[in-house]
Structure 1
Amino acid sequence: MLGGELQDNEDATHGWDTIEQLSRYHADFAFIGTGGITADGQMSDFSRAAAELRSRMLQAASVACVVADHTKFGRNAGVLVKHFDKAAYVISDMAPDPGLAAALKERGPVLRIA
């Protein structure tokens, strides 16, 4: 577990210390959550720090998998996550609407329904 701030409602660290520490690591695989995937197929999150942490993890992994249940589809959480094009997969419980599925396909990640 990386150091950083810990919120009561999440079982994860976050913040600028976490982001800085992450720059020292490489992951073979990363499973990354998201606040939302916008209607035009962009990944978003609720804060700049969370978006930056996800962006760095996308870059640090050989294979990055974004995990998003169907409630995240079409949702803009406010801050766009850079480097979403580096995600190999988007894994979800249900398929998004055809427009969003096409937008995801254009951006690169393969959609997998689990």
Structure 2
Amino acid sequence: MTLNPRQRRILDAVRQQVTVSLEALAQQLEVTPQTVRRDVKLMEEAGLLARYHGGVGLPSSVQNIDYSDRQVLNVDAKRRIASAVAAQVPSHCSLLINIGTTTEEVARALVHHQGLHVVTNNLNVATILCDSPGCEVILAGGVVRGRDRGIVGETTIDFIRQFKVDIGIIGISSIEPDGTLRDFDPREVKVAQAIIEQSRAVWLVADHDKFGRQALMRMAHASQIDVLFTDAKPPEALARVLREAKVNVVIAQ
């Protein structure tokens, strides 16, 4: 779903307070409890919020939002991020691209580039780029996850470790204020770690909803990336970590 300004304020309030009552949200937003209840119901169905006894909070850290919902969530922001990435990807370079709806938007933004060699464990990325005459696509083997067409497993990791590419482009589910990067699936995390190891430069693509979101598995730390492409200024605690780690932050307008 695409959040309207009121729903965005609800999500921000929940993130700041962990759990909050519907009545408190209604007072804070100066709307009726019925309006808040309708918004919360829609956001709960999209996997963005969870109802608890006495209020509403963030969903479990062990389960990601459904892929079909992630495809349309903040899609405009993801496309702006993808355009910013494509503007900095030179022609005639090699890339590793992992699983994720934002990385799929990056692939769409790269279709007119020339001389690209793309290694990916994402069937959607491969499908997007395989018809581009200026791109060679190398698809990793492994176990295909039906829900998002991602390829994971030890075979995938072994395959990726055969390459050393110019740029690794990775998506993520969560960036914590201390710079910890997290995701939900341990197999996906291991593949992303291999991509980081095999890339001369690592570019992270993440919209602002990833700031402070909860996820179970530690993937890496912000100090292991070179560039963060996002659509909004990171929170101050995270911005400080990024500055100290000398991470270049590109905010897509």
TM-score under structure 1 length normalisation: 0.88
2:228 equivalent to 1:87: no
> Which of 187, 190, 204 is equivalent to 1:49?
187
Which deviates more from structure 2 when the two are superposed, residues 74-83 or residues 53-62?
Answer: 74-83
- Rounded to whole Å, the distance in 1 between the matches of 2:151 and 2:169 is 15
**In 2, are the aligned partners of 1:67 and 1:92 still within 8 Å (CA)?**
yes
| Conserved 8 A contact 1:26-1:60 | yes
Is 1:2 the counterpart of 2:135 in the alignment? no
Aligned partners of 1:11 and 1:74: how far apart in 2? 26
What is the root-mean-square deviation in Å for CA atoms of aligned residues?
1.6
Residue-by-residue CA offset, 1:23-66 (whole Å, 9 max, x unaligned): 11111111100111112111111122211111111111111101
Is the contact between residue 177 and residue 235 of structure 2 (CA under 8 Å) also seen in structure 1? no
Q: Which has the higher contact order (CA 8 A, sep 6+)?
A: 1
Structure richer in strand, relative to its length: 1
Partner deviation per Cα, 1:60-104 (whole Å, 9 max, x = no partner): 111110111111111231111136423111111111211121122
Aligned partner of residue 9 in structure 1, secondary structure: coil
TM superposition outliers: structure 1 runs of 4+ over 3 Å: none
Residue 59 of structure 1: aligned partner: 197
The answer (yes or no) to whether the contact 1:65–1:90 under 8 Å persists in 2 is yes
Rg larger for: 2
Unaligned runs of 5+ in 2: 1-138
The structure carrying a bigger helix percent of its residues is: 2
Structure 1's 55 and 84: CA in aligned 2 closer, same or farther, altered over 3 A?
farther
> Gaps spanning 5+ residues in structure 1: where?
none
User: Which of 206, 216, 240 is equivalent to 1:78?
Assistant: 216
Contact 1:59/1:86 (CA < 8 Å) preserved in 2? Answer: no
